[in-house]
Amino acid sequence: MNPDFTETQQLLQTTVRQYVEDEVPFDRVREHEQKRAADDKLWEAISNQGWLGIPLPEAVGGGDAG
């Protein structure tokens, strides 16, 4: 881990890494890459985790990390 990250950032990094290792097998990535198509289920899962809003201001419901 990067020692310059805050504890919260390190937790997020660990959480995302674990999610990708568990839920996004390489074959799935390759399949969507070959199709040149987005993986809608993956984007939905990422959105449901709230990760897309992390850089947005708190005033609009984001994580204020941008």
Which pLDDT score, from 0 to 100, does residue 49 have? Answer: 93
Q: Please report which helix (H) or strand (E) contains residue 62, including its range.
A: none
Task: From first to last of the 66 residues of the chain, give the pLDDT tens digit.
Answer: 567 889 988 999 999 999 999 999 999 999 999 999 999 999 999 999 999 999 999 999 888 887
DSSP sequence for 1-37: --TTS-HHHHHHHHHHHHHHHHH--HHHHHHHHHHT-
Which pLDDT score, from 0 to 100, does residue 26 have? Answer: 93
Residue 54 near residue 63, CB atoms below 8 Å: yes
SS3 of residue 54 by DSSP: coil
pTM, entire model: 0.72
Going from N- to C-terminal start, the domains of the chain cover 9-60
Q: What six digits make up the tokens of 17? A: 């890494």
